[in-house]
Amino acid sequence: MREIAVSYSYDKPPVPAGTLGNSCDIGIFDERGIAVGGEGFRGWSGGARTEFAIAADAATPGYLRGPVNPGTWHVALGPYTVAQRGLDYQVDVTLTFGEPGEPFVAEYPPQQIPGHGRAWYRGDCHLHTVYSDGWWLPEEVAAAARTAGLDFIVTTEHNTSASHGAWGQLAGDDLLIVTGEEVTTRNGHYVALGIPPGEWIDWRYRTRDGAFAGFARQIRQSGGMVVPAHPYAPFIAGSWTFGYDDADAVEVWNGPWTPDDESALDTWDSMLVSSVHGRGRWLPAMGNSDAHGEPQLIGLPHNVVHADGLSRDALVAALSAGRAWIAESSTVNVDFAVTGSGRRAGIGERLDVDAGAPVQVTLDVRGVPDGVVRILSDTGEVLRTSLPASGAGTLSWQATPSLAAYVRAEVHHPGAGAMAALTNPIFLGRSQASLDARYSPGGR
């Protein structure tokens, strides 16, 4: 068999205002079967296309090139929303016989750029192209990322790994391209960040199925991380309902600042407060553009990550540890640190000093004219000030770990107060490991 081609259509009857119309996604599984997490997956385009084709040497974006072997193939339909009167559909399958073309050789991007040591790196970890529902070609995304001043990006197409093999020639010494996927379930979306090139994560489960934890484990075992995306997104199936026990970070800022980002930030802050008072663990915050095409901007926002190198493993380790802050663009710069007792700690770190030790919190901001700067702790806002028209300023605050279990910073634009920068916390006081060592036999 040379090629399998599929087209489909469905009715879209008019519906009363405020009610759901018809929307139906599509994908395909080959003769290896349709088991959840199995090997039969051959592509998904959601609702972005009405037809696709697969051959050994070519495939529609979103679908995996490869042999068209004999056996039972399954076209997968995903009724995203269904009108009250129902959804009528038609699927047409065309088989082309003949010799298969030359096997496609994927050109995966390298997952590290040698010669880069410990430094701050800027990157957008949630992006789309024509390989799912985006409008940009991969080469356009790579060019825009370079223009935005980014050091790395993560490719995260909806429910498919098909784009991974298209990025190899677009990476370079100035841009690391990490492979990933946006897993689009019916109970929320999450980014599988840093999965190996070619790996696919299934999306066909709901909260009640109990399958999410297993896929989260698979992602971590593969060297990646699990990041719930836009958890309060105001669209069908956009709200996150799986909980955060199996997450490694949370996307609190998605694209231009909106009220649903405010809700995500409030939830994240509540989890952070609970964690320092012994109720659960803290999750680092992330921000990404989720850009699909014009007029959206790649890098609005992005993560500024303090990593040991420019590699997938170093970035995943740093992001998972919270050694990162979020910026709306590369023109915004933040330097946030705490010093005390001859020690210094930065974002995502801990200043391991006694509860009564005086500490100095210092925040230096550049690139936000007339911006409003806030320093917050587990007790709420502790300092607020305005930046001059130059957008540059330095402020400081003195405290002790007994007064603040952590500090974090926000920088807002004037007026409506849209976010310009947001940091992960710096923790204050002795860690439990430090206390255990101090008060164990033989300790000080």
| 88 in any annotated domain | yes
Q: Which amino acid is at 218?
A: Q
pLDDT at residue number 439: 44
Give the domain extent around 47: 3-96
User: Is the residue at 367 inside a domain?
Assistant: no
Whether 71 shows a pLDDT value over 70: the answer reads: yes
67 and 33 inside one domain: yes
Q: Is residue 155 part of a domain?
A: yes
Tell me, yes or no, whether 198 lies in a domain.
yes
Report pLDDT digits (tens) over 215-256: 999 999 999 999 999 999 999 999 999 999 999 999 999 999
- 435 pLDDT more than 90: no
**312-370 pLDDT tens trace:** 999 999 999 999 999 999 999 999 999 999 999 999 999 999 999 999 999 999 999 99
Whether residue 154 is found in the same domain as residue 38: no
Position 104 confidence tier, pLDDT thresholds 50, 70, 90: confident
In a domain, 365, yes or no: no
Per-residue 3-state assignment (H helix, E strand, C coil) for 75-99: EEEEEEECCCCCCCEEEEEEEECCC
- Enclosing H/E stretch for 394: strand 393-399
Q: Flag whether 170 is in a domain.
A: yes
Position 60 pLDDT exceeds 80: yes
- 251 and 135 co-located in one domain: yes
Q: Is there a single domain that holds both residue 184 and residue 303?
A: yes
Do both 243 and 312 map to the same domain? yes
Same domain, 229 and 321: yes
**pLDDT, tens digit (0-9, with 9 covering 90-100), for 128-165:** 999 999 999 999 999 999 999 999 999 999 999 999 99
Q: What is the DSSP letter of 208?
A: G
Structure tokens at 409: 């910073």
- Number of helical (H) and strand (E) elements in the chain, helices listed first: 5, 25
Q: What is the pLDDT of residue 308?
A: 98
Element (H, E) at 271: helix 259-276
| pLDDT tier at 434, thresholds 50, 70, 90 | low
pLDDT at 357: 98
**Single residue among 330, 356, 389 that ends a domain in this structure:** 330
The reply to whether 251 and 323 lie within a common domain is yes
The answer to whether residue 423 is domain-embedded is no
Total number of domains constituting the chain: 2
Q: Kindly state whether residues 187 and 134 are assigned to the same domain.
A: yes
CB contact at 8 A, 265 and 204: no
Which of 330, 361, 382 delimits the end of a domain? 330
**Whether 166 and 315 share a structural domain:** yes
* Whole-angstrom distance, CA of residue 2 vs CA of residue 18: 46
Phi (first) and psi of residue 135, to 5 degrees: -110, -10
Contacts of residue 240, defined as CB under 8 A and 6 or more positions apart, other chains included, come to 187, 188, 189, 190, 228, 229, 231, 232
- Residues 66-77, mean pLDDT to the nearest whole number: 97
Residues 6 or more apart from 48 whose CB is under 8 A from it?
A: 62, 132, 133
Same domain? For 149 and 264 the reply is yes
The answer to whether residue 121 scores a pLDDT higher than 70 is yes
Asked if 202 and 37 count as a contact pair (C-beta separation under 8 A), the reply is yes
Q: What token pair was written down for 177?
A: 């391209």
Mean of pLDDT over the chain:
95
- Give the CATH number for residue 195: 3.20.20.140
* Domain C-terminal end among 268, 303, 330: 330
Tell me what pLDDT residue 444 has: 42
Is 46 found in the same domain as 178?
Answer: no
Examine the domain organization and report whether 220 and 318 are in the same domain.
yes
| Mean pLDDT computed over 172-193 | 97
The answer to whether position 374 is within a domain reads no
Measuring CA to CA, how many Å separate 107 from each of 97, 114, 166, 179, 282? 28, 19, 6, 12, 37
pTM for the whole structure? 0.95
b/e burial code for range 109-124 (CB count within 10 A of at least 16 → b): bebebeebeeebbbbb
Q: Is the pLDDT of residue 442 over 60?
A: no
